[in-house]
Chains A and B, each alone.
Chain A
Amino acid sequence: MSDQAQDRDRPTQGLDAVDVSDLLRSVEGPGTGFRVASTLLILVILGGWVIFGRQLLYGLGVTGLNQPVAWGFYIVNFVFFIGISHAGTLISAILRLSNAEWRRPITRMAEVITVVVLAIGGFHPVLDLGRPDRMLNIFSAGRLQSPLLWDVSSITAYFMASTVYLYIPLIPDIALLRDRGAKPQWLYKFMAWGWQDTPRQRHVLERAVSILMVLVIPIAVSVHTVISYIFAMTLQPGWHSTIFGPYFVVGAIFSGIAALLVVMIVLRKIFRLERYLKEIHFDHLSKLLLIMALLWFYFTFSEYLTAFFGNEPSEMGVFYYKLTGPYWPWFWGMVACNFLIPVAILSFKRTRRVPGILVASIAVVIGMWLERLNIVVPSLANPRLPYPAGFYVPSLVEWAMFAGGIATFILGFVLFARFFPLISIWELKEGREEAVRETMKRVESYLPDPAPRES
């Protein structure tokens, strides 16, 4: 392979200073772990679909849904998964936009979360349809005035933008794999789009990334706002609230950061990335998580206090159903998972270390799922008087699809790690070569100018 060195494209140059071959280990030498993991996950997913076959065959009656509670796990998971998707693109875009140098080893994973989870979440409303065979009616006879169609267009736009936003910063790393002769060669050649790391190509790439990160932020905000509008646009008690948009966006970013932290900690362990994902990255990101926990509490407090103080009978029905009624374990579990546990762990430097952060992040992911459950079901179960209250117990089909959704999420990561580096190599390299100088210059520019000599 020595004759290649002279002819080699530039990405491999200068990388010797930063030995990144351990980042490519999962691509160049996938072990039995990959095969075992993907087989197991595919089995779980297939199992979910087999059980779901009952729903296709017999109808939605095989779920636990019923008369007043017409929406359940499918919609809960739809909101939950789409919420997680805000990890990625939004966080990575905000960190890129604010020139946060510590973002470099994080952004790629965040973007992968977004794309994988959006695909899963976006599919959930289809599972929820009574007539999935008529889904194309949305295209032939859709009403853009319906909040559901706002979702369709917003999620499609987000999926498109976040896929492009994942792909474009991936190009130099694909080219690196192409040049190292990774198999299948044709795939890397195709996906590298002729990248040779010329200054002009670099300029194009950087400009595209800056356009995309600005474009992606409003789209990401719109996605969860619009999802909240599905609920907020109805007149139902507990849903018809003006702060639902920002409340959902805050919750989405909150759960997204938590999911990102879990993913980072798990992948760090599996692929031995301790050299790249250091304590400082977890420290910074968990501080963001702490801020979001406080913000989440503020929104929740405002939401429930206005309901309580207004004392409207229909609102109070939903309110007490959650706080003291059948949903009390889920409501107070949500408060503990989203507020008490993360704040207790992350407020102190002594506990704000990787094991503590893992516990807090898992708590937040569970807590945010509970929050979605607490929003969807109690409002439907407590219609206005005189209509009788309802109940909801999810069935095996719904649990199987939930497990399938989580398995698909993990499978997405397994497959991505098999074919692409989980950490952006060229951005790390850029950080080493240029960012130190740039950051110093930037800090200097913050300092006061020298005093004028003459008057």
Chain B
Amino acid sequence: MSASDSGIGVTPRWIYALQVASVGVMWVFVIGISGWILHLNRLSHRLQDVPSATVAISIVAIPVFLTGASVLTYVFVGLQRGRRTPGPEPEGEA
């Protein structure tokens, strides 16, 4: 099978870049959410609007998001390391 078989000529290198990017997007999302929650903490502190509740919710929420992204990354890294032929090029490709 050659790269041209893949329809619109997406090379394995491109696919690998896309895969890395998808994990990256997940991290951008998770870090964004965490940053947002921290921003709300600062806001509630500044306005003295029940900061304790905000802190309590953040302590629960942020680790959940981080765990989700970590599991996804773990799978991605694990799958790459577990290949029979490591590297971006799937074997058997021209």
Contacts and interface: CB of A to CB of B under 8 A. Distances in A.
In-complex A–B contact (CB below 8 Å)? yes
A143 B40 contact: yes
A204 B58 contact: no
Instruction: Sort chain A's interface into a size bin.
Output: 35 or more
B82 A157 contact: no
B84 A189 contact: no
Contact of A150 (B44, B57, B68): B57
A157 B57 CA distance: 13
Given A186-B8, A208-B75, A144 B83 contact: no
Nearest to A139: B36
A200 interface: yes
Interface stretch (A22-30, A160-168, A281-289): A160-168
A13 interface: no
Contact of A160 (B19, B29, B74): B29
Interface residues of B, number: 47
Interface string B10-35: 10100100110010000001100100
Interface stretch (A96-104, A191-199, A332-340, A361-369): A191-199
A206 to B, nearest CB: 10
B65 A157 contact: yes
A7 B64 contact: no
Given A153-B57, A160-B68, A185 B79 contact: no
Given A143-B44, A168-B71, A215-B64, 14 more contacts: A7-B91, A143-B49, A144-B53, A160-B68, A168-B72, A185-B6, A186-B10, A190-B15, A190-B22, A194-B79, A194-B80, A196-B82, A201-B78, A204-B75
11 contacts: A142-B36, A144-B41, A149-B40, A160-B68, A189-B6, A193-B75, A194-B19, A196-B82, A198-B82, A203-B82, A205-B79
Interface of A: 4, 7, 139, 141-145, 149-150, 153, 156-157, 160-161, 164, 168, 171, 181, 183-186, 189-190, 193-196, 198-201, 203-205, 207-208, 211-212, 215, 219
Interface of B: 1, 5-8, 10, 12, 15, 18-19, 22, 29-30, 33, 36-37, 39-41, 43-44, 49-50, 53-54, 57-58, 61, 64-65, 67-68, 71-72, 74-76, 78-84, 90-92
